[in-house]
Amino acid sequence: MSAVPTSARAPRIIVRHEIILAAILVVALIGLGRLNDRFLTVDNLLNQGRLMTEVGLIALPMTFVIVTGGIDVSVGAMVGLCAIVLGYSWKNLGFPLPLAIVFSLGVGAAAGLANGLLITRVRVPPIITTIATLTLFRGLAEGISQAHSVRGYPEWFYFLGQGAVFGVPTQLLILLVAIVVFGVALDRTSFGRTLYAIGSNETAARFSALPVDRIKLAAYALSGLMSGLSAFVLVSRVTTTRSDMGMGYELDAIAAVVLGGTSIFGGSGTIWGTVIGLVMIQLLKNGLALTGVKGDATIVVIGVVLIASVLIASSLQRRRE
Amino acid sequence: MSAIALPRAAAARAPLWRRVSSQETLLAAAIIGLAVVVGLINPRFLAANNLADILLGNAYIAVAAIGMSMVIITGNIDISVGALIGVLATVSGSLAVAGAPIAVTWLAPLVLGVAVMGLQGVVVAYLGIPAIVVTLGMLSILRGGLISVTGGKWITDLPDAFHLYDIEIFGVIPMPVAIMAGATILAAAWMRWWPRGRAIYATGGNAEAARLCGVSPRRTLVLVFLLHGFFAGVAALLFATELRVIQSTTPSGLEFTVITASVVGGVSILGGVGTVVGSTLAAILIAEITSALVFINVSPFWTHAVQGALILATVIADIVRRRRRLAGDVR
Amino acid sequence: MRKYLLTTTAVTAFAFAMWATGASAAGKWDGGDDLPTNPLECGAGAPAPAAPMKYDGAQPTNPPNLAGKEITVVDVPKLIGIGYFNATSKGIADAAKELGNVKAKTDGPTEAKIDEQIKFIDNYITSGVNGILFAANDPVAIAPVLKKALSNGIHVIGYDANSTPDAREWFVNQSPFNGIAKAMMDAMAKEIGEDGAFGIVTSTFTTPNQARWIAEMQTYAAKCHPKMQWLETVEAQEDNVLSFNQATTLINKYGDKLKGLFGMTSVATPASAEAVTKAKLCGKVAVVGLATPNAMKPYVHADCVKSVVLWNPIDLGYAAMYVMRAVVDGKLKPGDASVEAGKLGKLNVINGSEILLGPPFIYDKGNIDKFDF
Amino acid sequence: MTAAGDNQAPLLEVRGIEKFFPGVRALSGVSFEARAGEAHALIGENGAGKSTLIKIMSGVYRPDAGSILIDGRETRLATPDDARRAGIATIYQELLLFPELSVAENIFLGHAPKAGFGRIDLRAMRERAEALLASLDIDDLAADATVGALSVGNRQRVEILRALSYDARILIMDEPTAALTEADVTRLFDIVRRLKARGVAIVYISHRLDETFAIADRVTVLRDGAFVGTRLTSETNAGELVQMMVGRRIDNMFPKTDATIGGPVLEARDLVRRPLTKSVSITVRAGEIVGLAGLVGSGRSELAQTLFGVRPAESGEIRLMGEAVTIRSPAEARARGVAYVPEDRGVQGVVRPMSVLHNLSLAALSSLAHAGFIDRAAEWRLAEHAVEQFGVKTRSLDEVAGRLSGGNQQKIVLGKWLANKPKLLILDEPTRGIDVGSKAEIHRLMDELARAGVAILMISSELPEVLGMSDRVLVMREGRLVAEFDRAAANSQSVGAAMMGDAGAAEKAA
């Protein structure tokens, strides 16, 4: 009974990959910790958690999307759009702030749903769809905002982005909850299982009476919804709203997912892997910065780590097959 | 890149030209149509020099899109090209300022481009790492690396001879346009009539089959990346010699512009289909749209939204067309 | 097929809607941050000294007393790797060397992204520097992290791009927005006449400084150059080629009507000059803008560009560093009216907590070769 | 048809081939030969080593021991290229073609006729393609047609033409008929005879003994990677070969017992789903096995998929257990107790990268899940039960399904559906390309299910199977049911005739 696998494709390999990644992570942390005594402090780590939340919230549904063999590069633009909608509907349409928040989440979900519909109904390949909507959503954000940034939110609004509960950043708690929810959903539910089936063999999934299109729609809509949530957190953290928010988040999120061992071709991958990937990137950036490595050099290191880790993982995989 | 890897059938007994040209004709029509519409609203748009400027200012995107199309046809993708172009332009410019012979400054980006892309090609083909991952990593390596090295110092007072852009063939055709057209035609012909060119489609369509036909998918893939690097080098050259200043940073988002040109040009991300003529036309169309929006006084705040919508429309048009053609096959 | 038709119709409708709103964009523009504009008096003469305001900056919570001791200062500009901020960080380095008791370093995002910049500052707070110099990508967004720095006893001084005053101690103002606006408009008017028509190439409508400048230019023009024709403003990111293409588009769109181009960034100005040169319109279309000398030399020498407006960014960085040192040494306290800034001499405090570098500097054929950045 | 030239030296001969894979001994001391102008069948159950052997003969694998002789000379086949140069061409089960390219391009890919500067001479290429087509009297296939749009039969002929374009002297065919209609099979055999007449040696891998006898001069049997024996087809019989293959006697390939037929489970009236289902009315009763015969492209699978909701009906009425229902999606079909074991196992049936466990539970997820959460214990039990009920040979439930033999994969697909106790079971080519042993087991299973009262609709291109297993046989042609026979009246002539109808036209349309 204990042998029940945790994921679809060759379970042990995935687990193996995550363990290796985790090991690398731990080693890196210890190393960086030795180099700088301010790195491995509760404060710093919690603070990093605060800073990685926005991308993290996006990386979770991105994992779902990539597991189905798709991809969503429009998430960054959706963050921008949602942020603007939030601010605009509050400031210019006079929505009460809570309503504005809900509204922007709704818009996010709708945007994601639009992606999903184009992909499932019109059958435009995901990457093409989302590249096009990337421009579209960003454009809508600029158009709606007319380049005005919205500021001066009430104090309570900042609690999510800057506040803390028992010393833990509020948004980090949200991220943790989201991680558990998404992790369980992917690992334990029929929804998650269907995601894997779609990614491994869409046709067979269809012929197994699985609601392929609905599940894909859900995945992309979720991606939009979480972009909205991410936008909410971001606006609350930086106290202002701009149409260029979330630029480049898509690549950060994808990097985290891929680093976490999710196959870009779909059918395999876990939330836990994504989380490790996410933490790894964030803490590498932070740790390197603290040890005096400049931002530009850090980016280089991230790139190398990304390629190297995937190389190791795949060579391992090949050895086992 | 998804489970929809089932081969897309093409129309039975359709003459080859029809199969490969439909998206191209659609684009050509769009380009002319748009020109006419905008011309009616604002005749200045049709002024020869404006049309020329649209081509001139975006030739480098079209050239980069040639290589990108090849990569996509093999079923891969490259998101490092934008950063690479930035790096190559900087290298070329630095050499020019350092007083290297012009020939060298022009060849360097080509060679270096081929080298970098070749490396990525090898990793993708022989180590089996998905191209999107490799190039994503390379993207940040190049972006960060460039700044670490140059500190982002602008490259100024370039020697006049360096400026490819000022050369005009027969005193009429500006160099960039000539290069864009030439590269497109050569690449298209090569992919149409030369065995190795055809092999690209074979690899994208059915790698296993290609292998058993004595076409090595891996070698083809590496070759494609090498060529992609070459075209990236040419693009970088155009990019570098257009202005008197080289920013020596990586133009952000350029990779998406190039990929967009390819897919709008009718290159299927699922591999096996598409032509570089299409991608070049698409690059021109996109540039035309950008310029047109200014001419018809679309609020600058909305330009990106309109662009996105139009791009989406073209892509959907392409997909729908293919689907209808496919439906036509089923009796 | 139906879907496709739907999309296209939708798109066209959409496109025309946007077209309709086009007019609105050309109208009054307040810089996107809803702040008031206050145009300077027309004609020559330095701006009348503004009425002295009381100090409105913030103070770090019990900073360590490091007077005369060595301090480590980090400079986090909007982004690294562009000529302008290379110059400022050079100034900072120079000052640090002069002072001798400062370890200064510049680090920042490779793209002008506010949340990236926040992460950098955050990291340096953790790594425990004594002082932070910043040029904000967004005045409001950067405030929380700066406040965090202050609350950690770190001194915070802004330059080039301000934050909300309550998030930093002092801001070294290269030159007030309205000063730049006046200089630019007057220069343009001088070149193309009181009834000339001009276009503007800027980075993005959301970049605070550019937005403020444009807003101030608008009100100042309305006040002092009412007949000048404000044609259109186009976005071009911080991207060379894009700026060039946009400038060219403007030239082609308005033809002879267009008499002048403003470049609002050190990227847009040389690109616009290049566009004018390529169009063989030197002398017919004037280019006025903010730029760094090196990029402009060819055009200035070719008489294509008469005057380039810019403060000396090296001095700006230099001043910022000196202010930082002065604050740490307690030589500059709230309420003071001026501060000593090395070779720059005495710099005055304006509107409460800002230190004025001086009037904008005009480069021309005569002096441009004296500068190398 | 006699074995041509017994006396001359064999074109291709392999001696004492050994091949090891990590942990397994795939081939041990296998010898085999093919002479000019003969068709030599190579048979054996899945896992007997047939594929390994042909991969060795076509240069994909290298043997660990033993030798390969061509024209009596020892030759090393390191790569597929070497094999091709030696005149060996192989046609694999999954056809290796380029859907977006034309017939001519597919034939000549890799060795196209050149014009100046090494550019492909398109005209010459088309002409030579047409010449090849003509040489085999293929008049209904255009050289510039796009392969993606061709029927399976035609695609296979393109592959054969490609082989000929290399002047192959040895043609290896791996289960060429697995996916073919009767009509295509006859045409294929015709081509094979022509090739034999030209002195080409043909190595023919198949599961279908009737074919073996129809086309082969000699037959070699492998079992568990070992050579069992070679016989002249003229001197052996099915019984002997089966025994050689499975090492035991399978007395009855079609263990059909008389089931008590109950009330109608499925009643469909005037189902229409263009283009391939034109007003079909069909009834299947409890405990009844209805065989649905017809050519590929006659609309059999499409009908099945309409009943299953993959391609919902445009008009017409479906009644299940007497109640009128609409089936718009597979999910609805499943909810109504309809199960469909699809035609293309690899693409539509199993999810190859997934574990056996997850494959078996795939169609039952909704019943296994409480509030969306999968009851893993129940899932595990379900899988264990299915594995033993169908005798799936797998190391563990976590084994990746793609690693199992075709037969076992098919059992998994069956198990997946039986997991949620269907009332109507639609089987589309249930035993295509699987070995005799599994085949018999699946047939036995069908019979059990029928006796348990399940209504079964079985689509098959294999007449013996249709005749052997069905209580009733329906024949479909061009989207309509054109004939119905009860078990007694059905025989290969009557059914075959009904199927072909105007076969030529039907195939031309393909």
Residue B192, Cβ neighbours under 10 Å: how many? Answer: 18
pLDDT at C201: 94
Q: What phi and psi, each to the nearest 5 degrees, are found at residue C226?
A: -55, -30
Alpha-carbon distance D175 to D155, whole Å?
Answer: 14
* For residues D478-505, average pLDDT: 77
More confident residue, C278 or B331: C278
Residues of chain B contacting residue A297, judged by C-beta atoms under 8 Å apart: 144, 148
Q: Locate all alpha helices (DSSP H) within A159-268, ordered by sequence.
A: 159-162, 170-188, 190-200, 202-207, 212-238, 249-259
pLDDT at A182 over 90: yes
Q: Are C152 and C125 in contact (CB under 8 A)?
A: yes
Distance of CA D485 to the CA centre of its chain: 25
Mean per-residue pLDDT for C285-305? 90
Cβ contacts below 8 Å, chain B against chain D, sum to 102
CB atoms within 10 A of CB D270: 12
Share of chain C above pLDDT 90, in %: 58
Q: Reduce the DSSP state of residue D135 to 3 states and report it.
A: helix
Would you call B157 and C297 a contact, using CB atoms and an 8 Å cutoff? yes
Q: Are B238 and B251 in contact (CB under 8 A)?
A: no
Residue of D nearest to A203 (CA): D348
Nearest CA in chain A to D351: A201
pLDDT at D510 > cutoff 50 = no
pLDDT band at D503 (very low <50, low <70, confident <90, very high): very low
Inform me whether the C-beta atom of residue C124 falls under 8 Å from chain A C-beta atoms.
yes
Please indicate whether, in this complex, the C-beta atoms of B19 and D146 are within 8 angstroms of each other.
Answer: yes
Cβ-defined contact of A131 to B256 (cutoff 8 Å): yes
Kindly indicate the confidence band of residue C221, based on its pLDDT and cuts at 50, 70 and 90.
very high
- Report the C-alpha gap between D136 and D189 in whole angstroms: 12
Distance CA A156, CA C206 (A): 26
Question: What's the gap in Å between the CA of C141 and the closest CA on chain A?
Answer: 4
User: Is the confidence at residue D56, as pLDDT, over 80?
Assistant: yes
For chains D and B, having 3+ Cβ pairs within 8 Å is answered yes
What is the percentage of chain D residues whose pLDDT exceeds 70?
94
- pLDDT for residue B4 is more than 50: no
* Contact present, C310 and C361 (Cβ < 8 Å): yes
CB D268 within 8 Å of CB B324: no
**Chain D CB within 8 Å of residue A68 CB:** no
H or E stretch covering B86: helix B81-97
Mark residue C96 as left, alpha or beta (left: phi above 0; alpha: psi -120 to 50; beta: remaining).
alpha
Separation of first and last alpha carbons in chain D: 32
**Who among C8, C14, C279 is closest to B306 (CB)?**
C14
To the nearest whole angstrom, how far is the Cα of A318 from the nearest Cα of chain D?
Answer: 14
Q: Bridge-partner residues for D22, per DSSP? A: none
User: What pLDDT does residue D496 have?
Assistant: 76
User: What are the DSSP E strand ranges found in chain A?
Assistant: 164-165, 168-169
pLDDT at A46: 93
pLDDT > 70? residue B231: yes
**Considering chain D, what is the average pLDDT of its residues?**
85
Stretch 146-205 of chain A: residues touching chain D, C-beta under 8 Å:
185, 188-191, 193-194, 196-197, 200-201, 203-205
CA distance A141 to A78: 9
| Residue of D105, D101, D140 lying closest to D125 (CA atoms) | D105
Give the residue from B22, B46, B53 with the most C CB atoms within 10 Å of its CB, the best one to mutate. Answer: B53
Compute, in degrees rounded to 10, the torsion defined by CA atoms A39, A40, A44, A45.
130
Query: Is C310 touching A (CB cutoff 8 A)?
Result: no
Report the range of poorest mean pLDDT among B14-28, B178-192, B256-270, D454-468: B14-28
Res A154: pLDDT: 94
Cβ neighbours for D505, distance < 8 A, ≥ 6 positions apart: none
CA distance B168 to chain D (A): 29
Report yes or no: A227 and A108 within 8 Å, Cβ to Cβ: yes
Higher per-residue confidence, D254 vs A104: A104
Contact B312 C7 (CB under 8 A): yes
pLDDT of residue B168: 80
Q: D162-181 pLDDT, tens per residue?
A: 888 888 899 999 888 776 77
| D neighbour chains, 3+ CB pairs within 8 Å | A, B
Q: Decide: C and D in contact? Rule: 3+ Cβ pairs under 8 Å.
A: no
Closest Cβ–Cβ partner in D60, D99, D347 for B205? D99
Q: What is the model's pLDDT at position D358?
A: 94
Q: Which of C3, C109, C144 sits opposite A295 (nearest CB)?
A: C109
Per DSSP, helices labelled H in D3-101 are 50-57, 80-85
User: Looking at residue B156, what is its pLDDT?
Assistant: 84
In this predicted model, what pLDDT tens digit does every residue of A15-68 receive, in sequence order? 567 788 888 889 988 998 998 888 999 989 999 999 999 999 999 999 999 999
Structure tokens at B230: 């070459």
Residues of C in contact with B57 (CB under 8 A): 241, 244-245, 248
Q: Which residue out of C2, C9, C19 would a mutagenesis test of the B interface target, given it has the greatest number of B Cβ atoms within 10 Å? A: C19
Q: Which amino acid does the sequence have at D175?
A: E
Name chain A contacts of B129, Cβ cutoff 8 Å.
307, 310-311, 314
Which residues of chain B does C371 touch, with a Cβ-Cβ cutoff of 8 Å? none
In this prediction, what percent of chain A has a pLDDT beyond 70? 94
Both tokens of D193, joined, read 């005879």
Residue in chain A nearest B255 by alpha carbon: A131
Give, as one character, the DSSP assignment of residue D260: P
% of chain D with per-residue pLDDT over 90: 32
Structural contact between residues A1 and D377, judged by C-beta atoms closer than 8 angstroms: yes
User: Which chains are within 8 Å of A by 3+ CB pairs?
Assistant: B, C, D
**Alpha-carbon span B9 to A310, nearest angstrom:** 34
Distance separating alpha carbons of residues A100 and D487, to the nearest angstrom: 71
Spatial neighbors of A71 by CB under 8 A, at least 6 apart, are: A62, A65, A126, A127, A130, A254, A264, B1, B132
Region D192-203: what's the mean pLDDT? 91
Confidence of residue B10 (pLDDT cuts 50, 70, 90): very low
Position D152 scores a pLDDT of 77
CB contact under 8 A, D354 and A191: no
Nearest CB to B1 within list A254, A265, A318:
A265
Band of residue B6 on the pLDDT scale cut at 50, 70, 90: very low
Residue in B195, B201, B212 closest to D80 by CB: B212
Q: Which of A51, A162, A244 sits opposite C206 (nearest CB)?
A: A244
Question: Are C211 and A147 within 8 A, CB to CB?
Answer: yes
- pLDDT value at residue A320: 59
- Extract the tokens encoding B66: 């040639």
Q: What is the pLDDT of residue B9?
A: 36
Q: Which of C128-142, D363-377, D484-498 has the lowest mean pLDDT?
A: D484-498
Cα–Cα distance measured from residue D392 to residue D412, given in angstroms and rounded to the nearest whole number: 7
pLDDT tens for each residue of C24-33 = 444 455 666 6
Q: Mean pLDDT across the stretch C189-201?
A: 93
C43/D375: higher pLDDT: D375
pLDDT in tens, B113-132: 999 999 999 999 999 888 99
pLDDT tens figures, A208-265: 999 999 999 999 999 999 999 999 999 999 999 988 899 889 999 999 999 998 988 8
Smallest Cα distance from B175 to chain A, Å: 31
pLDDT per position as a tens digit, C237-280: 888 889 999 999 999 999 999 999 999 998 899 999 999 998 99
Give the C-alpha separation, A101 to C265, whole Å. Answer: 35
Average pLDDT, chain C: 87
- Give residue B237's identity as a one-letter amino acid code: L
**Would an 8 Å CB–CB cutoff place C13 in contact with chain A?**
no
Query: Are the beta carbons of D276 and D287 closer than 8 angstroms?
Result: no
Ordered structural domains, chain C, with CATH:
71-175+312-358 (3.40.50.2300), 177-309 (3.40.50.2300)
Question: Is A3 close to D396, i.e. CB distance below 8 A?
Answer: yes
**Given pLDDT bands bounded at 50, 70 and 90, which one contains residue B219?**
very high
Q: Shortest CA distance to C359 belongs to which of C45, C1, C74?
A: C45
Return d(Cα C80, Cα D3) in angstroms, integer.
82
Phi then psi for residue C239, to 5 deg, are -110, 120
Kindly list the residues from chain B whose CB atom is less than 8 angstroms away from the CB atom of residue C110: 143-144, 147, 249-250
All domains of chain B, ordered by start, with CATH?
A: 16-324 (1.10.3470)
Is B202 within 8 Å of D347 when comparing Cβ atoms?
A: no
Residue C143 and residue A239: Cβ atoms within 8 Å? yes
Q: Do C241 and B243 touch (CB under 8 A)?
A: yes
Q: Is C315 left (phi over 0), alpha (psi -120 to 50) or beta?
A: alpha
Burial of C17 (0-12, 13-18, 19+ CB in 10 A): middle
pLDDT of residue A16: 66
Pairing of strands D289-294, D455-459: parallel
pLDDT-based confidence at C227, cuts 50/70/90? very high
Residue in A closest to D340 by C-alpha: A207
What radius of gyration do chain B's Cα atoms show? 20
Residue of D348, D380, D400 lying closest to A203 (CB–CB): D348
Residue pair C228/C217 in contact (Cβ under 8 Å)? The answer is no
Distance of residue A255 Cα from the nearest chain C Cα, in angstroms: 17
Per-residue model confidence as pLDDT tens digits over D227-260: 999 999 999 888 888 788 877 666 677 888 887 8
Considering chain B, what is the average pLDDT of its residues? 86
Chain A residues touching D401 at Cβ < 8 A: none
Question: For B73-115, what is each residue's pLDDT tens digit?
Answer: 998 999 999 999 999 999 999 999 999 999 999 999 999 999 9
> Cβ contact (<8 Å) for C127 and A36?
yes
Question: Locate tokens 């390309």: which residue?
Answer: D433
